[in-house]
Amino acid sequence: MAHFGSVAAVMQASVEQLVKVEGIGKTKAQRIVEVSQGAGT
């Protein structure tokens, strides 16, 4: 979260933005985006 500054910013980030964070690969980034858009329910 330090990279984005807030949970809200993480939830609004794109896959491309998320994969730039150390430790977040494409699969994890895609899942974060799915959940933030409501597809994870």
pLDDT tens digits, residue range 1-40?
A: 688 999 999 999 999 999 999 999 999 999 999 999 886 5
From CA 10, how far away is CA 31, in angstroms rounded? 12
Q: What percent of the chain has pLDDT over 70?
A: 90
- CA count, 13 A, side-chain hemisphere, 38: 0
The pLDDT score that the predictor gives to residue 40 is 59
Question: Is the pTM for the entire model greater than 0.95?
Answer: no
From CA 8, how far away is CA 27, in angstroms rounded? 20
